[in-house]
Every structure is written in structure tokens, then in C-alpha cells.
Structure 1
Amino acid sequence: MEDFPYLDKRVQKTKQDLYSVFFELLKQKNYAQITIKDIIQLAECSRGTFYAHYNNKDDLLNEIIHFLFKKMVKAYRSSYINKASINIQKLVDEPLNLLNHFMHYGECYQLLLGNNIQIDFRDKITDAIISLYLKEFDIQSTSDKKKVDVNLLKRYSAYGLAGLILDWIIDDFPIEPYKFSIELMKTIQYSLGTIQIKN
């Protein structure tokens, strides 16, 4: 983990250490078995330092998820910054930045999706992608010009994208990001035409 939006370098290091330690512990035991004592001993920090930032381990977990999703949104948006619309049929590998994000933080995502943690993280990622897709895009037309419920088409596309990416993460990235991004675009292009970017 890196790139914390804090000016104080000590806070940056503390949070980086706590994030790293959290995932190290999650490799070894179930989330329910991880204690504050485990975290502070492995991070070599005091109980007071931990409680200066978090009330409990759930706060740490939620901050980690928020951090990852903030990075995910930034990666997702990077391919269409300063654009008013996108012609889906002309795109080639636009999901690449998003896929690179998931691969960069791959172990973190895999652990959060794994059996050692009993949270609905798969649903959280799916909801985050769908929410972003519905909020940012407005489908203008479909490739075959048939009349469809645009909201249903948007949700169908968003669920499909989220599901394919989640399978890719869980399967330990069997296709490298660039090739997978091209395959994703081919799949999306099969049913979509032009989308308008909402401001």
C-alpha cells in the first residue's frame, strides 16, 4: 500500500504499516480471529497509536476498502477524463487502467474476496462499479437500434463488467491486463453503441 493523502509523514508510515500488517495477518487467520494486539505487535506500534486512528479493527478494514475503491474510481475514470462522449465501437483497450489497478492491488483484493474474511466484499466491488457506471454514463444508442429499456441495458452492462473482472481477480489474473482489456471491449461492443459522459 502506498500514496496516502496525508501531509504528516509519520501518519503516512503508520497507516501504511497497519494496512500491510492487516493483510499479512489475513493470510494467516480468519478476520474474526485477528485482534488489536496482533495488529500492533506485528506493526510494532503502541495501542495508543492504533486508537489515535481507529476505534476498532472494523474501522481499519473500512478505511482500507475506502482507500482501494478511491484508487479504483480514479483508475476507472482515467480513460475518459475530459471527454464528453465515447463511441464504444471505436474503443480498443480502455479498461486497461482499471485492470492494472486490480492487478497492482491484486493480493489485497484476493484476500478480501477470500474465505478468511466474512464480509460481502464481492457485492461491495460490484456495487461500486455499477454505481460508478450508472452515475457517469448515459447510453445514447445501441448497435442494432432496437428499442430497449436504457436503464436495464446500463445495469446489464455494469453487472457483466463487474462479474468478468471479479472472476479474473479470483482466478489469479489468468490473462494479462492488456489482452483482457481488449477482450472486455469486444464483449461490451457486442451490445453497446455510444455513451454520453455525465458531468
Structure 2
Amino acid sequence: MELANTRTDRRVLRSKLALKQALLKLMSEKSFSSISITEIVELANYNRGTFYTHYEQKEALLEEVINELIEELIAAFREPYDHVELFHVNELTANSVTLFEHIYSRKEEYTVLFRSDALPMVKDQMFNSVKRILNEDLEYAYGEINPELLQAYSTHALMGLVFHWIEGGFKYEPPYMQKQLIAILHWRPKTAKTHVKK
């Protein structure tokens, strides 16, 4: 019985993976809104019955693709502090930041999603996930700083950097992005030369 269940589980995983890959392939060629379930199943070499066994509609399939990426994104974000009780932010090293490595390892999926008409939903889910774990996972001594405003600033700054990197076609390698993030976090300029004409 257990062997039969294992085989069934493998078949389910295999069919769902094929459907996801077919969806992403189609999204690299056309808008998500114009893709039909028939196109997805034909490309995946399955039938509509298999599709409806797993998903009610194509939006549910897309949501699962995004959710899997988000789960990996959260795990990568948490990596530097996941096994410690007290996280020393000022001691954060570039090597401990795995966020960019995760995204780069799935760059094909991110590239397709960021060029698709599903982009607003993708960005919203990524942003809200990071915002939520920043709020749930880490507690700072804020001093005079408003926690709500700091959280908004931190989330927008980090995700703005991530979005810029993805939309720029991964111009820089992950190790460079990791080092730059650490440098940005520690950057505290005291003066700036102006270019205002007098």
C-alpha cells in the first residue's frame, strides 16, 4: 500500500511539474491572459482531466508557481538568522546573504514572471511576504524611530534593489549583489557634493 502511495505521489508531482513548466513556457511567448488550459495540457502532454484533478483554473496553477518561489525566497531571506536567538545586524556578512543566490538559481522563472502581465501580482506577493516576515521575525530597539516607517523604508529599499536586479536582466552576479547590499547597509555618508548652479 505504501509503495502504491509513493508511486501515486510521484505521478502527481510529475504531472504538476509538467503543467507548471508548460505554463511558464507559454508565458515566455505570450500573455498569461491569452493562454488557454487546452494549450497548457497539450504542451505538457497531459489531458484536461489531469489538469482539473489538480487545479480549478489556470490562475490556481500560476499561484502555485509563485507560491513555491515565495517559499524559497522566505527561506533564503531567513538564512542569516534562522538558527540564532540574537541577530547582530552589524555583523552580517556577504556570504551569509543567500537571497540573491536563490533568485539567481530560479532566474528563468523570475524572468518569465517579471516580463508577463502577471507582474503586479508577483511583485505584490514578494513584497508582502518580505514585509510580513520582517514584522514577525525581527524585533529591534527602535529608539526614536517609528517602527511602522522603518519597516516601510526597509522593505521598499530591499525589494526595490531586488526588483531592479531582476528587471535589469541579472546584470551582476549574486556575490557582487551580496557585497553591495552589505556595503549599502553600512553606508552612512556625512556630506555630499552638490551640482546646483549658483
Cross-structure match for 2:186: 189
Structure-2 change in CA distance of 1:135 and 1:120 (3 Å): same
- The yes-or-no answer on 1:110 pairing with 2:111 is yes
Describe the superposition over 1:9-64 as per-residue Cα deviations: whole angstroms up to 9, x where unpaired.
11111111111111100011111110010000000001111100001101101111
TM-score (norm 1): 0.84
Q: Which has the larger radius of gyration?
A: 2
**Structure 2: which amino acid aligns with 1:182?**
K
- The yes-or-no answer on 1:47 pairing with 2:44 is no
Structure-2 change in CA distance of 1:79 and 1:118 (3 Å): closer
Cross-structure match for 1:169: 166
Is this contact kept in 2: 1:71–1:101, CA < 8 A? yes
Structure-2 change in CA distance of 1:189 and 1:151 (3 Å): farther
How far the C-alpha of 1:190 sits from its partner, in A, is 3.6
TM-score (norm 2): 0.84
Identical pairs, percent: 26
Cross-structure match for 1:131: 132
How far the C-alpha of 1:189 sits from its partner, in A, is 2.9
| Counterpart mapping for 1:15-94 below 5 A | 15-93=16-94
**Structure 2: which amino acid aligns with 1:177?**
P
Is this contact kept in 2: 1:93–1:185, CA < 8 A? yes
| Larger helix share, 1 or 2 | 2
Gaps of 5+ in 1: 1-5, 192-199
| Greater shift in the superposed pair: 95-104 or 16-25 | 95-104
Instruction: Report the count of equivalent residues.
Output: 182
Separation (CA, whole Å) in 2 of partners of 1:138 and 1:40: 47
Separation (CA, whole Å) in 2 of partners of 1:112 and 1:177: 19
| Larger strand share, 1 or 2 | 1
Please list every run of at least 4 consecutive aligned residues from structure 1 whose deviation after the TM superposition is greater than 3 angstroms: 115-119
Gaps of 5+ in 2: 1-6, 189-198
Is this contact kept in 2: 1:88–1:189, CA < 8 A? no
Is this contact kept in 2: 1:130–1:162, CA < 8 A? no
How far the C-alpha of 1:95 sits from its partner, in A, is 6.1
Is this contact kept in 1: 2:114–2:122, CA < 8 A? yes
